[in-house]
């Protein structure tokens, strides 16, 4: 612990990397199989879909899921320091997920689209709180007549 304190590193730093992203992975795999193989979902209609255990014949739900995922990542990137990797992932992951889920059960696409839309207000509030906690730039007159920003 003394070495960790001297180096300013937490022994749990390894757990803050990609592990939190891998924890929901078994749930994701379970949802893939549940929506395709559960008998109770077969023949269940929803709006234009005759069966939510089959793919969307018009590709409306996968596209709605992609757009909602993009909106969620766009709102999430507001008021954060610019990071090229985060920006790239914010644009690339909705496209990858949309293409990956095109031929999956429409119930899965419906689940993700609704979950993304439900998370938008929460992400909006988080972005607004992040904006409030950032220091505001103040413009001050310098002695030579020019202006300069101070934080």
Residue 67 pLDDT level (bands cut at 50, 70, 90): very high
Count of the separate structural domains present in the chain: 1
Distance of CA 31 to the CA centre of its chain: 18
pLDDT at 54: 85
Question: Is this structure's pTM higher than 0.85?
Answer: no
Residue 18 pLDDT level (bands cut at 50, 70, 90): low
pLDDT digits (tens, 9 = 90+) for 103-122: 888 888 998 899 999 999 99
pLDDT at 20: 64
Do the beta carbons of residue 33 and residue 22 sit within 8 Å?
A: no
State the residue range of the domain holding 36: 2-150
**Count of beta carbons in the 10 Å neighbourhood of residue 150:** 8
For the record, the structure tokens of 107 come out as 């119930």
Give the residue-averaged pLDDT of 26-46.
78
DSSP secondary structure, 61-94, as one string: HHHHHHHHHHHHHHHHTTTS---HHHHHHHHHHH
Q: What is the mean pLDDT of the chain?
A: 80
Do the beta carbons of residue 151 and residue 135 sit within 8 Å?
A: yes
Tell which wins on pLDDT, 44 or 122: 122
Q: By mean pLDDT, which of 29-38, 44-53, 79-88, 115-124 is the weakest?
A: 29-38
């Amino acid at each position: 612990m003394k070495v960790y304190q001297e180096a300013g590193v937490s022994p749990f730093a390894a757990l803050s990397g990609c592990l939190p992203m891998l924890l929901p992975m078994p749930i994701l795999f379970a949802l893939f199989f549940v929506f395709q193989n559960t008998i109770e979902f077969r023949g269940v209609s929803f709006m234009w879909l005759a069966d939510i255990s089959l793919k969307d014949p018009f590709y409306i739900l996968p596209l709605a899921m992609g757009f909602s995922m993009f909106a969620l990542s766009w709102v999430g990137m507001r008021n954060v320091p610019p990071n090229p990797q985060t920006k790239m992932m914010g644009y690339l992951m909705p496209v990858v997920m949309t293409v990956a889920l095109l031929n999956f059960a429409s119930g899965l696409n419906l689940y993700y689209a609704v979950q993304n839309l439900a998370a938008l207000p929460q992400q909006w509030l988080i972005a607004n709180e992040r904006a409030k906690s950032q220091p505001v730039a103040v413009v001050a007159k310098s002695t030579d007549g020019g202006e300069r920003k101070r934080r």
